[in-house]
A and B are shown apart, each in its own frame.
Chain A
């Protein structure tokens, strides 16, 4: 398996623009998580899905952030409009009931810079 795949790896955008981050979980994993990592706040859980259904979105900072999982192999995290304080590395991670001994597998992350 290729692991959790995220795109793009790097994104530079201007303040006010819409940004869409993409994630493909490991096949067979039925849990998907979006995390944000910054120096100040560390690793923060934004939202997670089980069987494509959002379970907990309490970590989503505000209405500018939205996430979807239209099917088992694809999820998006959208920021509209983007602001400089959204600059961070965004990680997607997946796991599943059949993988109970292995914790999360993280993707390579998307480094977002909003100027």
Chain B
């Protein structure tokens, strides 16, 4: 089955700096890659997703890039704010109805 690895496990940045979280996947059949943000004690919430026919997608301060050849994708957060502090999970799936294989999570701490 699919194996998703996520790095780093923790990331601390200064407010206003950029943050990058990277994930790799093993199954070349995976074609849907969502990112979830989970604040302490709350549910994971979808923040952005990308399909394999697109190399990059952007939504305000958040962007995701995908390299199908290398089988890796990354989350980029620019101009970080304290409210960006949370655990971020990447996932891979053959589509968004099938099982998601989640990465182990990255705890992002944005210092004011």
Contact = CB atoms under 8 A, between A and B. Distances in A.
Query: Are A and B interaction partners?
Result: yes
Nearest to A106: B43
Interface of B: 32, 34, 36, 42-46, 49, 89, 96-97, 99-100, 102-105
Interface of A: 31, 33, 42-43, 45, 48, 50, 56, 91, 95-97, 100-109
A108 B43 contact: yes
Closest 6 CB pairs of A and B: A106-B43, A43-B102, A103-B34, A103-B46, A45-B99, A42-B104
Taking chain B's interface residues, is the majority helix, strand, or loop, or is none over half, making it mixed? Answer: loop
B42 A108 contact: yes
A97 B98 CA distance: 11
Contact of B45 (A31, A42, A106, A109): A106
Contacts of A43: 44, 89, 102
A34 B97 CA distance: 13
B23 to A, nearest CB: 13
Contact of B97 (A31, A91, A109): A31
Nearest to B96: A103
A103 B99 CA distance: 11
Given A33-B99, A91-B43, A109-B43, 13 more contacts: A31-B97, A42-B89, A43-B89, A43-B102, A56-B99, A91-B44, A96-B97, A101-B49, A102-B46, A103-B46, A103-B96, A104-B34, A105-B46
B102 A42 contact: yes
Contacts of B104: 42
Q: Which of A33, A50, A97, A106 has the most CB of B within 10 A?
A: A106
A51 to B, nearest CB: 11
